[in-house]
Amino acid sequence: MTTLICNCNQTMPLDAQSLSASLNEALTLHSSLCRRQATEFLKAAASGDELVVACTQETRLFGELAEQAHMTAPIQFVNIRETGGWSRDAANASPKIAALLAVAHLPAPDPVATVSYQSDGRALIIGPLDAAERAASLLGDALDLTLFTQGAGLNGGAQARRHLVLGGHIESLTGYLGAFVLTWQHTNPIDLDLCTRCNACLAACPEGAIGLDYQIDLSACQDHRACVKVCQVAAAIDFNRVPTRQTETYDLVLDLRATPAFSQHAKPQGYLHWDGRDLPSLLAWRELVGEFEKPKFFTYKQKLCAHSRNEKVGCSACIDVCSASAISSDKHHQRIVVNPNLCVGCGTCSTVCPTGAMAFAYPRAADQGVKLKTLLSTYQRSGGKNAALLLHSQGQGASWLGDLGRAAQLEKGHKDGTHGVPARVLPVPLWHTSSIGLEVWLTAVAYGASNVWVLLTAEEAPQYAAALTEQMAVAQAILTGLGYTGEHFKLLQVRDARDLAALDRSLQADPAQAPTRHASFAVQADKRVTLELALDHLVAQAPVTNMSEAVRAVSPLATSAVIALPATGSPLGSLAINKEACTLCLSCINACPASALSDNAAAPQLRFIEKNCVQCGLCVKTCPEKALSLVPQLSLLPQRKEAVVLNQMQPYACVRCGKPFGTLKGIEAMLGKLAGHSMFQGAALERLKMCGDCRVIDIYSSDQEVKIFDIK
């Protein structure tokens, strides 16, 4: 792989020698690679090697030059100008630039499964008839259009009818690209299929109840029926017509109404809620004809899911946070269901999932981990210090950073001008900024990052910010509890260009404390495994400050034996038990999806492994005695990874054979509740004190028991 660097007409202080040492590759510094030195690019392209080009401005030009050179190998483009070279801190940006180039050298991740769409161009336009026809004039050459009128609008329909027009009451609109289903009722006396737009009914109606959408306003109609008389030949008007429900399917939907048909933040692909002004979005929508593929962004493992057990709902974090309404609860099978056609790939479901049952697949967690490790290790090896990761979207987030870099270049001579992206800030573009959560953030800190910042724009749904805030509160509580100083995690919310100055100030924040020794473990596919690896390293390297001798004896590198975590969003914690209320029925064990609770075959015990607990609450909701409660925390005791006894009781011995078959407290509670029941009197109540075998023997050996053979 060959790397081409350019200082863009000498506007960036690139150090080719230090970059060569960092990448272990001899680099030639160019100043006009896209113009006067384009032959250097052609020479590299003709070599057949894969290329890394440190420029994103001239991506199109370099692509055309590559075609001229008959280049078949891929090209990776890296933005080092706006993200590093155009900054007041550019002289110190060489380690960052080396890190960005090193990431570009990584091999492409393995392909993932895909989701397919088929669109034949059958499009539905919903809205006032005049607006619908105006939109249709821009689309009719590319799509097969049907208009669903929602009133005449200001001007009404045109005299010439160029498209099929429907009218009535819309009951529902569901689906996605290639599979929209419209259910509606034909409730108006005028049949638009039969109507010729002769306008005779409009002229005859004394109340003016008929508009230029050729539908009757029944609230204004006074039953003169003059319209029926003038429409005898076409017979398009029938007040006795029975409303009929109809269903039609469409590939695309253009919605011109003030209130969209879909209320979720991420609308289904193929649906466009258009205000009449955003022409680029309309032109892009009209191109959705043909066969399409997108990655299947998620993987789901039901056996790990903490959503439901025994008809009790525990964790519903993924359902609550999904902005596309793609996730729902299947109560019959006690699981969640994800519609891959509705999923937009934000990955927030995997971020809030406490068990790892829902995982983000594009890219996979392991690929993301390799990227972060390469970025941070190259930065540190090149002399960089106090790295801050800036996670941003590939779309609007990258655009804002580009604006920030250009502003710094334009205001170079101004004392109070924009500083640009500091040398210690490493931009990390993501498919979606909420696709990674605290296990990856903590891993980044374990790799040596001082800060992890997430840049949010108007692209993200409001619930994403709330979910990330909860996750960051948990991650920060862990690091603070371990004695790491400073604010490691922060959300940077940018809505427009006016927020860039605030962003610039945020990027100048003081670095937080990172481990002195950096981790070497790899991010795993299993979320909980990655989280435990990160915690183990951070605990082992925790600063030794303000510790009592007692705590030192438990964990010599921790500031407290137990770190309290926020009540919401924590995937870590313990259980508190009311031993007086608990009867040791063990129903909580069957409800636990994470094997955190277990019994003991040798004795009546309830045992608990804190490391496995995901704080889903299924055990709490299942417990008939309401004896359990969640305790979000991180214990630093060795027992956290071991099975400890939460409760134990004296066994109850069978009154007939002496074999233990329950707990003394449990049997006594059952006897107390059933003592007054008519079916449990005398011998029947006594049998409750027997084991299962003895109950059967007692029933068949009792002379007072009625046998089936005795029934005549």
Q: CA nearest 508: which of 10, 140, 156, 87? A: 87
- Given 292, 322, 345, the domain boundary residue is 292
Q: Are residues 141 and 237 located together in one domain of the fold?
A: yes
Please work out, in degrees rounded to the nearest 5, the angle formed at the alpha carbon of residue 33 by the alpha carbons of 31 and 37.
Answer: 95
**pLDDT given at position 576:** 95
- Domain with residue 410: its CATH number is 3.40.50
Sign (positive or negative) of CA dihedral 470, 475, 479, 481? positive
Residue whose C-alpha is closest to residue 250's, from 394, 144, 400: 144
Domain region containing 665:
653-710
Average pLDDT, the chain: 91
Query: Which element (helix H / strand E) includes 103?
Result: helix 94-104
Tokens 């129903």, located at residue: 587
Instruction: Measure the CA angle with vertex 467, ends 463 and 471; round to 5°.
Output: 170
Give the number of other CB atoms < 10 A from CB of residue 353. 27
- How many angstroms separate the CA atoms of 266 and 69, rounded? 42
435 and 531 inside one domain: yes
d(CA 636, CA 638): 7
pTM: 0.88
Domain-located, residue 203: yes
| Conformational region of residue 662, where left means phi above 0, alpha means psi within -120 to 50, and beta covers everything else | beta
Locate 671 and state its tokens.
């006897």
Q: Which long-range contacts (CB under 8 A, 24 or more apart) does 254-259 make?
A: 254/123, 254/124, 254/125, 254/126, 254/127, 254/135, 254/139, 254/282, 254/285, 255/126, 255/127, 256/125, 256/126, 256/127, 256/128, 256/131, 256/132, 256/135, 256/150, 257/126, 257/127, 257/150
Angstrom distance (rounded) from CA 335 to CA 200 = 59
Lowest-confidence pick of 79-93, 145-159, 193-207, 681-695: 681-695
Tokens 């927020």 correspond to what residue? 499
Q: Which residues, 6+ apart, have CB-to-CB distance to 242 below 8 Å?
A: none
DSSP letter for 498, please. G
Q: Which of 258, 273, 292 is the last residue of a domain?
A: 292
8 Å CB contact between 698 and 683: yes
Asked if the structure places residue 479 within a domain, the reply is yes
The CATH number of whichever domain residue 609 belongs to comes to 3.30.70.3270
Mean pLDDT value of segment 581-605? 90
Domain identity same for 423 and 524 = yes
Can you give the pLDDT at residue 554?
Answer: 43
Domain check: are 171 and 221 in the same one?
yes
pLDDT band per the 50, 70, 90 thresholds, residue 20 = very high
Q: Is pLDDT at 712 greater than 60 in this prediction?
A: no
Answer whether residue 36 is part of any domain: yes
Instruction: Report which residue type is found at 26.
Output: A
The answer as to whether 185 is a domain residue is yes
Do residue 510 and residue 455 come from a single domain? yes
Residue 261 has pLDDT above 90, yes or no: yes
Read off the pLDDT band of 549 (50, 70, 90).
Answer: very low
Confidence of residue 583 (pLDDT cuts 50, 70, 90): confident
Measured CA to CA, the distance from residue 253 to residue 177 in angstroms comes to 8
648-690 pLDDT per residue, tens: 988 888 988 988 888 887 888 888 888 888 888 878 888 888 9
Confidence grade of residue 451 (pLDDT, cut at 50, 70, 90):
very high
Q: Residue 535's pLDDT is what?
A: 96
In a domain, 522, yes or no: yes
Average pLDDT in the 305-322 region? 92
Note the pLDDT of residue 497: 64
Q: Measuring CA to CA, which residue among 1, 2, 29, 9 is closest to residue 94? A: 29
Q: Please, which residues have CB within 8 angstroms of residue 238's CB and are 6 or more apart in sequence?
A: 189, 191, 228
Q: What are the start-end ranges of the E strands in 355-450? A: 358-360, 388-393, 425-430
With a cut of 50, say whether residue 551 has pLDDT above it: no
Whole-number Å distance between alpha carbons of 21 and 317: 47
Quickly state the pLDDT bin for 706 (edges 50, 70, 90). Answer: low
Q: What is the distance between the alpha carbons of residues 204 and 434, in angstroms, rounded to a whole number?
A: 61
Both 352 and 399 in a single domain?
Answer: no
Q: Indicate if the pLDDT at residue 215 is higher than 80.
A: yes
CA distance 699 to 709: 14
The answer on 438 and 377 residing in a single domain is yes
- Residue-wise pLDDT for 470-518, tens only, equals 999 999 999 999 999 999 999 998 887 667 777 777 788 889 999 999 9
Residue 1 CA to residue 582 CA, distance in Å, equals 65
pLDDT at residue 547 in the model: 38
pLDDT at 709: 61
Phi, psi for 580 (deg, rounded to 5): -70, -35
413 has pLDDT over 80: no
Query: What's the pLDDT score for residue 705?
Result: 63
The values of phi and psi at residue 668, to 5°, are -65, -40
CA-based end-to-end distance of the chain? 93
pLDDT digits (tens, 9 = 90+) for 167-197: 999 999 999 999 999 999 988 999 999 999 9
Residues 618, 643 share a domain: yes
**Tokens representing 233?**
């030949």
- Does the structure show a pLDDT above 90 at 521? yes
Which of 320, 340, 360 is the endpoint of a domain? 360
Q: What is the CATH number of the domain that holds 300?
A: 3.30.70.20
Q: Which residue has the higher pLDDT, 639 or 95?
A: 95
- Helix and strand counts by DSSP (H, E) for the chain: 22, 33
DSSP string, 344-372: ----HHHHH-SSSSEEE-TT-HHHHHHHH
Q: What is the mean pLDDT of residues 388-406?
A: 92
Give strand pairing partners of 89. Answer: none
Which of 421, 420, 537, 546 is closest to 481 using CA atoms? 546
Residues 308 and 275 both lie in one domain:
no
pLDDT classification of 555: cutoffs 50, 70, 90: very low
Identify whether residues 287 and 301 lie together within a single domain.
no
Across 522-532, average pLDDT: 95
Query: Based on the domain organization, do 160 and 248 belong to the same domain?
Result: yes
**pLDDT tens digits, residue range 24-76?**
999 999 999 999 999 999 999 998 889 999 999 999 999 999 999 899 889 99
Residue 553 lies in a domain: no
Q: How far is CA 313 from CA 335, 456, 529, 609, 654, in A?
A: 10, 31, 25, 22, 36
Tokens of 452: 């992890």
Counted domains in the chain: 6
Tokens at residue 179, please? 């599979």
Do 154 and 252 reside in the same domain of the chain? Answer: yes
Q: 116-125, 576-585, 626-635 — which is least confidently predicted?
A: 576-585
Q: Is residue 112 part of a domain?
A: no
Q: Are strands 180-186 and 244-250 parallel, antiparallel or unpaired?
A: antiparallel
pLDDT at 457 over 70: yes
- Cross-sheet strand order for the sheet of 271-273: 164-167, 144-149, 122-127, 252-255, 271-273
Tell me what the mean pLDDT of segment 139-159 comes to: 92
* Residue 167 within any structural domain of the chain: yes
CA–CA distance, 390 with 591 (Å, rounded to integer)? 40
